Amino acid sequence: MARNFRNYGTRWGVLVNLADVPLFIKSEASRIVQLADHIAYAVFRYYERKDTQFFDLILPRFDSEEGKIHGLIHMQTIKPDCWCPACMSRKLTK
């Protein structure tokens, strides 16, 4: 995927520099990892505890195209009629 991004670009243009992703790093060592932790926590709280306090703040920030949210996927097979934002964005764009 990274090679394709470098060779062909994205819908925003060609990427010149890609940062390596740290595999294991303490949260307090990097602001970007702290941000990823907060996003993961907000999504976890939404799906596991139905707590929307933080999720509602980040939901509009997920990339979307023609109503389909990218980067937020609800992987489950129990409720085919799920009404969460991730499932609904895929139902509406089919």
Quickly tell me which residue has 């990274």 as its tokens. Answer: 2
In this structure, are 13 and 33 located in the same domain? yes
pTM to 2 decimals?
A: 0.66
In this structure, are 72 and 92 located in the same domain? yes
Quickly tell me which residue has 């060779």 as its tokens. Answer: 7
In this structure, are 11 and 40 located in the same domain? yes
In this structure, are 87 and 73 located in the same domain? yes
Residue ranges making up the domain that contains 88: 64-94
- How many domains in the chain? 2
15-63 pLDDT, tens per residue? Answer: 677 666 656 777 777 888 889 899 999 999 999 999 999 999 999 999 8
In this structure, are 83 and 42 located in the same domain? no
**Quick one: how many helices (H) and strands (E) in the chain?**
4, 2
C-alpha to C-alpha distance for 21 and 3, rounded to whole angstroms? 15
